[in-house]
Amino acid sequence: LHQGRRKHEEEVQEKIEYHDGKVEEVLSDGCQILTFCDGTKKEISADKRMTTISFSNGDVKKIMPDQRVIYYYADAQTTHIAYPDGLEVLKFPNNQIEKHYPDGTQEIVFPDHTVKCLYSDGLKETFFPDGTVVKVEKNGDKIVVFSDGQREIHTAQFRRREYPDGTVKTVFCNGRQETKYSTGRVQIKDEEGNLILDK
């Protein structure tokens, strides 16, 4: 942007200096550049469809022809893009990307490609690169689905592990354990781990 301005400076067709220190320049290609006394520069494209504002702190705001607003925060090295439909996207220097949808849903893509979705109804889903999916309901219940087909369910009452072969192991909040094997065998242990049923 700054290199483009330097190239245009010799093509200034009109220059107006205001009493408040503002300078307005109209370039031969129709672009307009306003320079304010605080160092802020506003560049308006010839067709008036794109505006770029460069602030003295290094921040840059662009209003695009499609009405997207792109704001770059220099100190944080973060870009915020606001779309006309209400979608907002944040891009951080560590490559983390956050999307905030108009319905309240948020999607966060972490640098390791883990994706976390926060829904407006309170459901949270996390998709890990290895294929593991974790769902946390609004009430705190959690379901973990592993890439090998195993599932874990965590509630206030129990923790249950379901294996692909049909075996189900449950540990209740009082410490009692129950294992149901795919063969139909059932094994129950009490709070201390003593076997009380095996049939």
Write down how long the chain is.
Answer: 199
Alpha helices in the chain (DSSP H): 2-9
- Flag whether 43 is in a domain: yes
Q: Residue 68: which CATH number?
A: 2.60.450.20
φ/ψ (deg, to 5) at 6: -60, -40
Q: Nearest-CA neighbor of 88 among 76, 101, 105, 71?
A: 101
Q: Are 153 and 170 in contact (CB under 8 A)?
A: no
pLDDT in tens, 122-179: 999 999 999 999 999 999 999 999 999 999 999 999 999 999 999 999 999 999 999 9
Q: Are 33 and 2 in contact (CB under 8 A)?
A: no
- Flag whether 95 is in a domain: no
- Flag whether 166 is in a domain: no
* pLDDT surpassing 70 at residue 7: no
CA dihedral over 55, 58, 61, 64, signed as positive or negative:
positive
pLDDT in tens, 22-45: 999 999 888 999 999 999 999 999
Q: How confident is the model at residue 11 (pLDDT cuts 50, 70, 90)?
A: confident
Q: How confident is the model at residue 6 (pLDDT cuts 50, 70, 90)?
A: very low
Question: Which domain, by its residues, includes 71?
Answer: 10-83
3-state DSSP: the chain helix, strand, coil percent, rounded to 5?
A: 5, 45, 50
- Flag whether 199 is in a domain: no
**Range from 10-14, 42-46, 108-112, 150-154 carrying the lowest mean pLDDT:** 10-14
Give the containing element (helix H, strand E) for 36: none
- Flag whether 41 is in a domain: yes
Q: How far apart are CA 74 and CA 76, in angstroms?
A: 6
Q: Are 84 and 68 in contact (CB under 8 A)?
A: yes
- Flag whether 59 is in a domain: yes
Q: What is the mean pLDDT of residues 54-73?
A: 96
- Flag whether 70 is in a domain: yes
- Flag whether 129 is in a domain: no
Identity of the residue numbered 39: G
Total domain count, the chain: 1
| pTM: predicted TM-score of the whole model, two decimal places | 0.77
What pLDDT sits at residue 28?
Answer: 87
